[in-house]
Structure 1
Amino acid sequence: MESTMKELRGGESVLEPKSNVGGGVEDVYGEDRATEDQLITPWAFSVASGSSLLRDPRYNKGLAFSESERDAHYLRGLLPPAVLSQQLQEKKLMMNLQQHHLPLQKYMALMDLQERNERLFYKLLIDNVEELLPIVYTPTVGEACQKYGSIFRRPQGLFISLKEKGKILEVLKNWPERSIQVIVVTDGERILGLGDLGCQGMGIPVGKLALYTALGGVRPSACLPVTIDVGTNNEQLLKDEFYIGLRQKRATGQEYDDLLNEFMCAVKQNFGEKVLIQFEDFANHNAFSLLAKYGTTHLVFNDDIQVKGHFYARFYDSTSFRSSTTVVRGFLFLQGTAAVVLAGVVAALKILGGILVDHTFLFLGAGEAGTGIAELIALEMSKQAKAPVEETRKKIWLVDSKGLIVSSRKDTLQHFKKPWAHEHEPVKDLLNAVKAIKPTILIGSSGVGRTFTKEVIEAVSSFNERPVIMALSNPTSQSECTAEEAYTWSKGKAIFASGSPFGPVRYNGKDFVPGQANNAYIFPGFGLGLVISGTIRVHDEMLLAAAEGLAGQVTEENIEKGLIYPPFQNIRKISAHIAAKVAAKAYDLGLASRLPRPDNLVKYAESCMYSPLYRNYR
């Protein structure tokens, strides 16, 4: 669907689609394409002429407007005479970015670009993803959230506070786009590892959705960042004269639940059944209950955690398309972090040999993140070995602050740790647990830095030819060990990956390239797969499919370098393959509503991906 200009009174014009196939909330993908990021709403037009065109980031091309476009759209004299290509604009911007020495300065420069020239912003991010990913998202976005009040210039999403209680549907209708496909929402209580940042957590949904577009190809106008502001318990922010949120303690209990319930119901009413809602950086107690409550009624996802347990919920039957109230036993959400880690482990098997059940896992960290990753690995083991998951869990051991989790501790363990309490004598620390269990794969999810000591890494290397060491905790200061420590202390034997980015390491005349278990490998392609298939619910098998899709993109060349994740420079191709795997699983499970099923899902996914190249205006 190409776009043309329709002339209005006063010499202005509006960008209008040539055809209007679909156009509704329910028909955007499949009939409409991801690259068509302009659907005119019933109540507003996007003026695209003269100075208004230059101020609209969706259509502004800056000096890339051609001579004929300058004549046709009243741009003469509003621009210098030079005409620059998008490639030359990109080159200039990268040079300018490199002049900034502080990451936060680069972040602010990129946000300014996004607000004035959307396509150039995404072109820059796609072409320079390895360099700019740490700026647009972690770790720099954390600092941006901490200082959000001071650097705030222009709102980039919807702020829904307690003041809007009873009016959330009206607030959603204030958003100028109707065809929303992905919402990332936070309440700001647990921003990265930085704690309660209240309303200033908005930087996280904004950054996450930028990656949905750049890495996964979801069109920008289909993305909606949302912050739910229920107050903050951060005293420093409450005293900050530049704080932009509610100046009150956090609402909890029924008041909190009612606001979130109104939001979830309003989203479905305004944007439809198939909008993906990603919960981001909620405190664990709320994240669990939200996924448990809405997982059977909405298309919801959380990048970081798992939920399991017994609770009352509305159960959706994809065969009969009916719902009923029931007790869901052992209901499980397996989320993005776990899928990324599983993908790295599966790829590592190309080096180690065998299947998952042939290996022994030891985790440092038995919180919700650690147990969630462990559960997904156990599920994949169960699938590969055709064995009950209760049996495959016995190949996975966890260490918490009190030592190895064993059956004699079961009465004092939190519920999510109990499945991992195996028969073994008590072991008080990680080093002795490594010596006792002799794991082939050591995974850190403790959130405590430098806990993989020299003695620990030497021990795990003493009985493994190629030990897999994954130090997943963020930020860099909390990583269980650095890449240099892992390679040096293992004498170059380690297959290493981390949650934080580390540069290449040279040891004993050989270059080692560490992998990064970054959620950005999974969630953009995962979200694209849900959207292009019209999926109505997230199922744990889709996460398994996403992990398998990522592992399948690790090439022999990557393996030769010791990499268990593919280079980020190929992320759009990787996302298309992940989307195809996820969509295929949705069709297999009867949860997809985009019919008929495309013959080639990879090509279909690629065809639906947003392109940041400039359009020609007539």
Structure 2
Amino acid sequence: MMSRLNLAVRPWVYICRSVHTKEIGKPLMLSPRTNKGMAFTLQERQILGLHGLLPPKIETQEIQAMRFKQNLKKIGDPLTKYVYVMGIQERNEKLFYRVLLDNIEELLPIVYTPTVGLACLQYGHIFRRPKGVFISIMDKGHVRSILDNWPDTNVKAVVVTDGERILGLGDLGVYGMGIPVGKMCLYTTCAGIDPHSCLPVCIDVGTDNEMLLKDPFYMGLYQKRDRSQHYDELIDEFMEAIVNKYGRNTLIQFEDFGNQNAFRFLRKYQNKYCTFNDDIQGTAAVALAGLLSAQRVINKPLGDHKFLFLGAGEAALGIADLIVLAMKETGISEEEAQKKIWMFDKYGLLYQGRSEPTDKHQQPYVHTAPDQKIETFLDAVNTLQPTAIIGVAGAGRLFSKEVINAMGRMNERPIIFALSNPTDKAECTAEDAYNLTEGRCLFASGSPFDPVTLADGRVFQPGQGNNAYIFPGVALAVILVGVRTISSHVFLTAAKALAEQVTNDELTQGRLYPPLSQIRKVSIHTAAKVAEYLYANGMAFEFPEPEDKEKYFLSKVWKTDYESFLPDVYNWSESATRLPKM
């Protein structure tokens, strides 16, 4: 047996020979969770059997990040950028999140809106490796066994879609999996939530998209959407399987369901599970935050505004309901608050007695018809004279020059929110909004726009009302304080927390939201404010309550630094002395 002296001189060789660590080296290098590329140290390479399998240079993560960014600059096409960036995630997870966090303003439009919409449209064509869990209507009765196939057992957050209403693109079926995958990336990037505790899920019940049903690369069921009772039974089974496997306080975020199902499931599950719908509640919170920032600029409370929505679906109704909740806090009755909100959908203005249908969720915003006949959105603007127009129809450039000019004539500081995604679905451009109002408007959009320079030299930074400002911080708070259900007041609290982080200097630049470069700081602060509300209202179940909540959340964030594999090897040395002679 090797002498004690020799063991002291050559411990790495002894341990390597004794415990056969070379067998685990290559799997570590091939797994995106543990791969460090050329950042594996010389000792790790020798112990793990990687020596010679990597170029001899030992690289830092900083050099790897530099290579990542240089290669990205050479790519012009957004979809190709998406494929490249997500390919890094598939090879080196730590590096992916390091670069994403350091370059969030540049890369957020790639990994999420607007480029993720292009990726979803082409999902089967750019497919490289599966991510997340796919559950089809054929799996009804076996959902739990499918979840058991997912390797991570410590899941804290689930993002689920059935692909029926992906952004403004419509029914994409299984191709909609790009949305939960993208949302999970933002959970980690924006709020530091451990990616191994996040689970993206796509529920496949078919698609009504004829193009996909003829697409040879489509990856889902080749059938029309199942809208029978089997669909509801599958969702019920899924919800119960999640909480049975991962715990009652597992967060379940609904994403891009069709309007009717989105509202139906929110009302059905919100008092039973730890769940929310980001299209309804997340969008509402980020829009309200923008309105609260605008309120600071013009010194005019929400109750003195009149709001006109272009669109009357889940986003519009979610925003409207949260505006009403905010107004009620100031002493305005619910009925009076609702009267300040009008909606215009594909059939025209919502009013009592119109021949076109309205559903029960829209009823609070169906008012007595104006005296004047209204046929177009411009007619509605001129007749109702709103102080704010909010576009969530996903129908393209319907905030015409005439509409924007009208808003500018009747308001000193018109509020113009073009929130539809992706970019080509936005109701107007930032350039039109600022130029046509001579820089007086307070503008926000769902997708990013470049800064706008007016003829007089003034430069405006358009605010992007991105849900990433809200849902990661809310999720961080909910996960770490042990919430069982999530009320609408949580999103009201999050909206206030976001708005208060916009500085006066940023407001003068035209910003209604903090810079995206500060998204981690913003999310941690938002999480702390949400946690304060949850503890104060008896909705938190993790004790003791952290005294300094921001410090507590910062201590819990997932780190992108590479870990050393050597400590575990050291622990094997004791047992190694009992192995057979070499």
The match for 1:375 among 292, 296, 321 is: 321
Aligned ranges 1:109-128 → 2 under 5 Å: 109-128=84-103
Go from structure 1 to structure 2 and tell me whether the alpha carbon gap of 1:542 and 1:236 turns closer, same or farther (over 3 Å shift).
same
Distance, in Å, in 1 between the alignment partners of 2:383 and 2:35 is: 63
The match for 2:228 among 245, 253, 256 is: 253
Distance, in Å, in 2 between the alignment partners of 1:53 and 1:408 is: 66
Aligned ranges 1:287-298 → 2 under 5 Å: 287-298=262-273
Asked if 1:489 corresponds to 2:436, the answer is yes
**Post-superposition shift, 1:369?**
2.0
5+ residue gaps, structure 2? 1-14, 567-582
**Post-superposition shift, 1:588?**
2.0
**Post-superposition shift, 1:76?**
1.2
SS at match of 1:613: coil
SS at match of 1:110: helix
**Post-superposition shift, 1:408?**
5.5
Residue identity in the other structure for 1:443: I
SS at match of 1:225: strand
SS at match of 1:174: coil
Distance, in Å, in 2 between the alignment partners of 1:139 and 1:354 is: 32
SS at match of 1:160: strand
Residue identity in the other structure for 2:333: P
**Post-superposition shift, 1:128?**
0.7
RMSD: 2.0
Match for residue 362 of structure 1?
Answer: 308
Asked if 1:546 corresponds to 2:521, the answer is no
Match for residue 7 of structure 2?
Answer: none
Distance, in Å, in 2 between the alignment partners of 1:426 and 1:600 is: 56
Asked if 1:231 corresponds to 2:206, the answer is yes
Residue identity in the other structure for 1:376: L
Asked if 1:399 corresponds to 2:344, the answer is yes
The match for 1:88 among 42, 46, 63 is: 63
Paired residues of 1:409 and 1:421 also in contact (CA < 8 A): no
Aligned ranges 1:35-114 → 2 under 5 Å: 49-114=24-89
Paired residues of 2:168 and 2:425 also in contact (CA < 8 A): no
Paired residues of 2:23 and 2:49 also in contact (CA < 8 A): no
SS at match of 2:420: coil
- Of Structure 1 and Structure 2, the greater strand share is in 1
Aligned ranges 1:99-498 → 2 under 5 Å: 99-305=74-280, 335-383=281-329, 385-407=330-352, 409=354, 413-423=358-368, 424-428=370-374, 429-498=376-445
Asked if 1:617 corresponds to 2:565, the answer is yes
1:544-601 CA-partner distances (Å, limit 9, x unpaired): 0110111111111211201101100000000001111222222122121111111111
Distance, in Å, in 2 between the alignment partners of 1:242 and 1:436 is: 49
Distance, in Å, in 2 between the alignment partners of 1:267 and 1:579 is: 24
5+ residue gaps, structure 1? 1-6, 14-46, 306-334
Paired residues of 1:512 and 1:561 also in contact (CA < 8 A): yes
Out of 443-452 and 275-284, give the one that drifted further. Answer: 443-452
Q: What is the TM-score with the length of structure 2 in the denominator?
A: 0.90
Q: What is the TM-score with the length of structure 1 in the denominator?
A: 0.85
- Percent of aligned pairs with the same amino acid: 51
1:114-157 CA-partner distances (Å, limit 9, x unpaired): 11110000001101111111111122222222222222221111
Go from structure 1 to structure 2 and tell me whether the alpha carbon gap of 1:522 and 1:410 turns closer, same or farther (over 3 Å shift).
farther
Residue identity in the other structure for 2:418: A
Match for residue 452 of structure 2?
Answer: 505
Distance, in Å, in 2 between the alignment partners of 1:205 and 1:136 is: 11
Match for residue 19 of structure 1?
Answer: none
Match for residue 315 of structure 1?
Answer: none
Paired residues of 1:404 and 1:426 also in contact (CA < 8 A): no
Distance, in Å, in 2 between the alignment partners of 1:190 and 1:398 is: 20
Out of 67-76 and 409-418, give the one that drifted further. Answer: 409-418
Distance, in Å, in 1 between the alignment partners of 2:23 and 2:97 is: 20
Aligned ranges 1:575-614 → 2 under 5 Å: 575-614=523-562
After the TM superposition, which segments of 4 or more aligned residues of structure 1 sit over 6 Å from their partners?
7-10
Match for residue 531 of structure 1?
Answer: 479
**Post-superposition shift, 1:85?**
1.0
SS at match of 2:202: strand
**Post-superposition shift, 1:417?**
2.7
**Post-superposition shift, 1:504?**
0.6
Distance, in Å, in 2 between the alignment partners of 1:395 and 1:606 is: 40
Residue identity in the other structure for 1:416: H
1:452-497 CA-partner distances (Å, limit 9, x unpaired): 2222222221232221111112222221111111111111111111
Paired residues of 1:104 and 1:143 also in contact (CA < 8 A): yes
SS at match of 1:590: coil
